[in-house]
Structure 1
């Protein structure tokens, strides 16, 4: 479980006085605790749910970093990037574009999809198979280009 690892990492970061890592780890812990309380009293999250939480945190920080960059606030963009780097350590390795394309081509072949009208069917299967290994936005782009 990611949450157990996070607790251990927080202790190590405190001992090392690593404020950057500590900030990122605390953000993860807070998000996981929030999700647990939303689900119900004492209910444990499985690893897939934890990975989705981490992906959401990374996505939020990327969006914030882009906004800060467009406003010329490099100091704030740097803070977001540091947190992204800490959070990303706990995510599964992201696949390369070529690997994602190969998986999507296989799914298109299996489903027999031939037009953009069937994009939903392909996206559903692709999102299941690539969960945690690729961003949904990138999956959508590739599916659209292959079917369009």
Structure 2
């Protein structure tokens, strides 16, 4: 519930300041929260983990769209996605850099006893739980592949 209250307050502030890009992103977050709360089988309140997953999903959508728009030379649309991504990133926890991810993955590989690329599923299962919200899954997957191939 705290995320929803934060977003509502930020929407009011953005409206008063007439910040169109920020308002667009905040409204997207609010809409996603309302959809998640009213989804069939969902509880009335979102947990912190649910809020985190929701924000990660929104950020991933913006990153994917940004990539597509850039390949199609649509800088006007790419700029909008980038602006929204910056606002969404403010509500996400700090992401680990590549060296920190490498260290964590190496520890997970040692912990699970993985030795070949065939053990990737076992390593990824632990890594996704430990690094949830802190690292992008594509980056983690690439590092796991690289380390297990050695």
Q: TM-score, normalised by structure 2?
A: 0.94
- After superposition, the C-alpha distances for 1:60-96 in whole angstroms (9 at most, x for unaligned) are 1111111111111110100000000010000000001
- Alignment match, 1:45: 46
- After superposition, the C-alpha distances for 1:101-121 in whole angstroms (9 at most, x for unaligned) are 101111111111101111111
Q: CA RMSD in A?
A: 1.2
Q: Quick one: distance in 1 between partners of 2:30 and 2:18?
A: 18
Deviation of the 1:135 alpha carbon: 0.7
Q: Quick one: distance in 2 between partners of 1:15 and 1:42?
A: 33
Q: Quick one: distance in 2 between partners of 1:93 and 1:39?
A: 31
> Does the alignment pair 1:59 with 2:69?
no
- Alignment match, 2:17: 16
Q: Quick one: distance in 1 between partners of 2:43 and 2:14?
A: 27
- In the alignment, is the contact (CA less than 8 A) between 2:62 and 2:81 conserved in 1? yes
C-alpha spacing 1:24/1:111, structure 2 compared with 1 (3 Å): same
**Shift >2 Å, 4+ stretches:** 39-42
Deviation of the 1:123 alpha carbon: 0.4
- In the alignment, is the contact (CA less than 8 A) between 2:36 and 2:42 conserved in 1? no
Q: How many residues align?
A: 148
Q: Quick one: distance in 1 between partners of 2:95 and 2:42?
A: 33
Q: TM-score, normalised by structure 1?
A: 0.96
